Structure 1
């Protein structure tokens, strides 16, 4: 699927942001990301740390794939959109449980953040050409 210059630039930026977020999972933001683990999952620290580390590896992988695997960008975009959907319960959990992390220290800030997840999903699908691909194949 052919993409324009703006899509290419935004795909690379998203890939870099995903890679940085993944590195943060493994290092300097590990505690912050543990706050994102939904409270309906086991709250054992070792399990929560595993979830953070595992999701960090996924984020680094997807980020690098977005940047370098141009031939498969549509598949990577769809995979990233699915990933964003799968991690959304963590954002909901942070809001419903009033957990402070990433500077989200009020219910209002945590609520506003929830509305950015669809933006990320659309960004992943649009910048990779996956949105056009999905609509074209729907016909």
Structure 2
């Protein structure tokens, strides 16, 4: 992987703030989070607390060179795994009229793949889509052109 550029560093620190705040929120407003856990998930209160700790651990991991890439993969997997809870949250809010509209939930659900990519790119786990031609061909050889 290439070294960190300013954009990647900014993206990483924004992600650290995002997951740090979210992790703390899981511990402070636990009951509100429990309400959106899908019914199939056992021990919802404990899961909410555990996921908050995972978010904070991921944020801390992103701050270190040693754990940065692993934290990126972990946070990407986490974002994928909580997608059903986000869907359940949308269904709950839109059905029960608890205040958050489709204008909150639709972008949140649609942007989940972006959040997954963000964790991978900001951590340095992937370079896509900004991989340079030199990175793609480390020996500097020219490929055959297709006609």
TM-score over 0.5 (shorter chain): yes
Q: 2:111 matched to 1:120? A: no
- Structure 2, unaligned stretches of length 5 or more? 137-147
Partner of 2:65: 70
Q: Displacement of 1:80 after TM fit? A: 0.9
Let me know the Cα RMSD of the aligned residues.
2.5
Partner of 1:129: 124
Query: Any conservation in 2 of the 1:104–1:110 contact (CA below 8 Å)?
Result: no
Runs of 4+ in 1 over 6 A off after TM superposition: none
Q: Displacement of 1:48 after TM fit? A: 1.7
Larger Rg: 2
- Structure 1, unaligned stretches of length 5 or more? none
Bigger RCO of structures 1 and 2 (CA < 8 A, at least 6 apart):
1
Instruction: Give 1:109's match in structure 2, choosing from 104, 113, 124.
Output: 104
Q: 2:59 matched to 1:58? A: no
Q: Displacement of 1:99 after TM fit? A: 5.9
TM-score w.r.t. length of structure 1:
0.78
Work out the CA distance in 2 between the residues paired with 1:18 and 1:51: 16
Partner of 1:8: 9
Work out the CA distance in 1 between the residues paired with 2:86 and 2:14: 22
Work out the CA distance in 2 between the residues paired with 1:126 and 1:12: 12
Deviations 1:56-109 (A, max 9, x none): 111111111112x12332222111101110111101112234468xx8623453
